[in-house]
Amino acid sequence: MRLSRILLPLAVLTTVLPFCQVFAQTQLVSNSFFPAALEFKELKAIQAERDLKDPAELAKLEHAPVLLEAGIKRYAERTYALADRGTLSIEVMTFADARGAYSVLTLLAKAGVRTGPPGNYFCSDADTLIFDLGNYCVRIHSRAASDLSRRVAISVANRIGDRAPNPPSLVKHFPEQSCDVSSIRYILGPQALASFGAPVAGATLKIPPDVELAQAQCMAREQTGTLTLLSFPTIPLAEEYFSSGAVSGREASSSANLYTRQTGPLVSILEGNFTPEAADKTLGAIKFSYSIKWIFDRNSQQNRTIWGVPTRILGTVVRSILFTALLCVISIVAGVVLAAGRMFVRRRWALTDDDAFIRLKINEN
């Protein structure tokens, strides 16, 4: 009996421990997205590494004003020495939201942006592969002739995890029939516009704060040009900007025409060798529809009061009253059902009052 008491726990431990080891081995480390040691035989050794989070350090990066404008929060880089004497560098940039990562991808891309994998969207050329995934933007640079960059990119993307592609709503307004979606550049501010934006009428377009901007190359019947879309927070701001002459007062170059249109909070500018008919068709394809979404923020309701009573306490009282009323209704319905059942039984079997009740008869004499 004592031997069985000892062997039973040992058997349970022997069965459970291997599963615990498997789960411990397959747990992902979310703090670092670089490949694991010996994951790729081409990566011989780590040559250099840095991890920047301080704004003063981030301000020293290449294209720092654009990255800071996009909301960069962390920059991690690791350089590997390859077995064939080359190098491979991986840059992982973390942004405040997915808009910043997508913007940097479109700005740093040297080729057309395509749908992933790797990542949600990516572009690649002879030396560089860059992709975005959620609020992460990853750039891999290598002169290796093999597909090492792509395999490393897939590994990094798997470590980041799945995130549904959700491009900014502004880029969805480009007409797919006439505009090259792969050429879209999504711009979040004046720094990115000055560094990477295409000029409008030969000069950099001036935009107010909190305005999104996107540009793409368009073509219609061998007529080419650039379509610029501006998204304002409200329709009155778009109307004010459109009527101020900031766009309509410009003159296109001698070899191009300039067309403008306002659609809701969107202001569109088309510049190129388009005829009025082609321009009207291209700009007319830009639509804007309204959508209403109710958002209840519990945090914002905690400190509110109604008639001097905090909403949290008032909500508790209202829920208590509703619960009590529900119990009353249930009690009434249950009483009606029991009474109806009793009447049905009496009529069904023709019971009298003497049959229906058990009475205690006491002889008082």
**Single-letter residue type at 266:** L
pLDDT classification of 138: cutoffs 50, 70, 90 = very high
pLDDT at position 361: 64
d(CA 70, CA 199): 20
pTM score of the predicted model: 0.68
Domain ranges of the chain: 43-160, 169-284, 305-356
Burial environment of residue 8 by CB neighbours within 10 A (0 to 12, 13 to 18, 19 or more): exposed
pLDDT at position 129: 92
pLDDT at position 91: 94
d(CA 187, CA 196): 8
Tokens matching residue 86? 């080359």
Is 282 within 8 Å of 270 (Cβ atoms)? yes
pLDDT classification of 208: cutoffs 50, 70, 90 = confident
At 354 the three-state DSSP class reads helix
Which candidate, 42, 78, 25, places its Cα nearest to that of 151? 42
pLDDT of 75 above 80: yes
pLDDT classification of 221: cutoffs 50, 70, 90 = confident
> Which of 6-10, 231-235, 354-358 shows the lowest per-residue confidence on average (mean pLDDT)?
6-10
pLDDT in tens, 315-328: 788 888 999 999 99
Q: How many CB atoms lie within 10 A of CB 90?
A: 24
Which candidate, 121, 141, 143, places its Cα nearest to that of 131? 121
Residue with the larger pLDDT of the pair 310 and 49: 49
Tokens matching residue 15? 């069965």
pLDDT classification of 60: cutoffs 50, 70, 90 = very high
Is 267 within 8 Å of 206 (Cβ atoms)? no
Tokens matching residue 56? 């003063």
pLDDT at position 297: 57
Tokens matching residue 245? 């002459």
pLDDT at position 78: 93
At 344 the three-state DSSP class reads helix
CB neighbour list of residue 88: distance below 8 Å, 6 or more residues apart? 42, 43, 79, 80, 82, 140, 141, 142, 144, 148, 149, 152
Residue with the larger pLDDT of the pair 354 and 185: 185
Looking at domain 43-160, its CATH superfamily turns out to be PknH-like extracellular domain (3.40.1000.70)
Q: Which long-range contacts (CB under 8 A, 24 or more apart) does 321-325 make?
A: none
What percent of the chain stands above pLDDT 90?
28
pLDDT of 30 above 60: no
